Amino acid sequence: VILCLIAKNSSKPFLCFGLSLVLAGAIGNAYDRMNLGYVVDFLDFHAFNYHWPAFNVADICICVGAFIVIIWEFFRSK
């Protein structure tokens, strides 16, 4: 689905970049899940007695890509 959206919107590089990040993160997590049976989370932060959920580079790609797509939707000309 994401590849189809990228192909359909190839003239919109900002959107394609965001979708590519989401796809890359999904592939990274799927690769870990298939080869290891679990996703390796290695960034774990604690501050002021608060613990953020552990995450990895693939999770960062998915979040940043989704944020880019949302921003693009808000600011695109209709």
Please report, for residues 8, 18, 29, 57, the alpha-carbon distance to residue 62 in angstroms, rounded to integers and kept in the order given.
20, 9, 10, 9
Annotated catalytic residue 44: no
**Of 41, 63, 64, 72, which one is the catalytic site residue?**
41
Please tell me the distance from the alpha carbon of residue 21 to that of residue 15, in angstroms, as a whole number.
10
Separation of alpha carbons 22 and 49, rounded Å: 31
Indicate which residue of 24, 59, 60, 63 is catalytic: 59
Distance CA 16, CA 52 (A): 29
Query: Is 41 a catalytic site residue?
Result: yes
Catalytic residues: 41, 59
